[in-house]
Amino acid sequence: MKQIFTLVLFMAALFPAMGQQDHNFEVAKNLDIFNAFYKELDLYYVDTLDAQKLVRAAINGMLDELDPYTEYYSEKSREDLKQMTTGKYAGIGAIIQYNKKTDRCVIGDPFDGNPAAKAGLRAGDVILSIDGKDIGQRGSRDAAEYSQSVSDALRGEPGSSFEIRVQRPGVSEPLTLTIVRETVAVPAITFYGMADSLTGYILLSEYTEDCARHVRRAIVDLKQQGMERLVLDLRGNGGGLMSEAVSLVGLFIPKGKEVLHTKGKIDEMNQTYKTTDDPLDLDLPLAVLVNGSTASAAEITSGALQDYDRAVILGSRTYGKGLVQQPRDLPYGTQMKLTTSKYYIPSGRCVQAYDFQHRNADGSPRHLPDSLCGEFHTEAGRVVRDGGGITPDVVQPADTMSALAAYLLYSDELFDFCNAYRNAHDSLTTPDAYELPDAVFDSLKAHLSRAGFTYDRETKRLFAALERAARLEGTADSARTEFAALRAKLSPNLEADLDRHRDEVSRLVSTELIRRYYYAAGVARYAMRHDELVARAVRLLDSPDEMRRLLGQNGE
């Protein structure tokens, strides 16, 4: 019996080793095949091959089979990875976008306090030349590549200067401006301020280097302004550095508490991360706002605070990214960012919602159904679930946008209108007090009408589907008169639709006008005044009994 037991143990140890040998052989075999295949192509193919282009295509093909977070960076593009983690790059500090009307790139959104804004560039300025070199129109070039080439030409070493020649709408002659490049730091905190006399508000947009330290400073500043409770807004925050999430959670929970642990294929990826510093405030009432675009490090923050019953989470369910990436150096200055592990927050749950290995028939990743999500418990015993992001304690669906507003938001017509207004008016009422004047709304209506602004209504699409169904069922002819009457009633009437959605359109236009004068921080300040979820969070923080009930602390 002892010999049989020893044999069983030997075989149990042998099979994994044999499996690893088989795997290693398959890797070596397929790499040999790929190497031989490319050599044959390069030697005998009728045309000369571009090695960089073809190998990059092969790499991209491999990456398409994995998750969207594992990426390859060429020597030229590895600065993009650095920018993602630091939030810094050397350039002018402005979004560059392609404009169909001019077939050129324009300044889309200058960042406050950065070289473009300091030099006087404005949204809508059409870029004609950089350092005397005409950038030309896009022509037949790919729009993304064309825009990237212009953006690359604007970047350079900090301290270097260049001349940019732009055509400003409404100004007859082109403008030539001198810009000194700087290290541009996109702020992790878009805005912070007081939502009311007792409630502070912080809009954290991303998790870049030192963002937790910036949040700490903002909280200290807000306390000096009288803050006694805080709304932390993580909506639209796609995450970033995991270490910053740990540090941020550590502002509100005791030192030495676990924030997350990671599990990977190899032991070195299995790590536990705990808070390392004394907390800033263990008792500050805290509400965290999330939505479907809250992901990664932002989910670690909201999830850990929920697991420790430290904050009430409000909004809609988060994205569900429970994967951890690490950069790895490759030959010739190239680099990759690859998924190495999954992370698990204090209750033991993983928020990963998508299965990239087992995809749907159309190639899209599978979303874990709610029925398969496991139950876990917070420190106070509240039930929470894994596998589908963070479900808020107070669920409020994100505001929906009408079809008219959606088309208007991304239209050249609104972009041009707001740029023209900015170029004709030197100042605008502050975001705290601004309301769109009736005269400006009427001017917008006239502008959209002259410009031939068009949009698709949802009823138009549904009506077209109804007509198709009627034709298939053979009832279209008998209902021709009724269809004609309904079609006439459903025909878009721009002026009437603008009046019907006046409040929504006015807020949209106000936001874009404020952006021209007060940049992203001004937009956030204005939005805070009109945001129902912020208002709901403020009301909740003003009700300690309700906060305790939601956090499972009624018995304390």
Q: Which residues are 271's β-sheet partners?
A: 262
User: Sign (positive/negative) of CA torsion 346, 349, 351, 354?
Assistant: positive
In angstroms, the CA 301 to CA 279 distance is: 14
In angstroms, the CA 457 to CA 348 distance is: 46
Inter-residue contact 527 to 191 (CB < 8 Å): no
- List Cβ neighbours of 238 (8 Å cut-off, separation of 6 or more): 206, 293, 294, 295, 296, 298, 319
What does DSSP assign to residue 292?
A: T
DSSP one-letter string for 381-403 = --EEE-SSSPPPSEE-PPPP--H
Q: Which long-range contacts (CB under 8 A, 24 or more apart) does 184-190 make?
A: 184/88, 184/89, 184/90, 184/91, 184/92, 184/93, 184/111, 184/114, 184/115, 185/87, 185/88, 186/87, 186/88, 186/111, 187/87, 187/214, 188/87, 188/214, 189/214, 189/215, 189/218, 190/520, 190/521, 190/524
In angstroms, the CA 300 to CA 262 distance is: 12
Q: Which residue has the tokens 């037991």?
A: 5
- The candidate with the shortest Cα–Cα distance to 110, out of 173, 158, 164, is 164
For 126, 278, 378, 543, the CA distances from 98, given in Å and listed in that order, are 9, 48, 48, 48
Catalytic residues: 296, 307, 321
Q: What is the largest CA-CA distance in the chain?
A: 98
In angstroms, the CA 512 to CA 436 distance is: 11
Written as six digits, the tokens of 333 are: 């200055």
Inter-residue contact 246 to 303 (CB < 8 Å): no
Pairing label, strands 335-344, 258-264 = antiparallel
Written as six digits, the tokens of 275 are: 């808070």
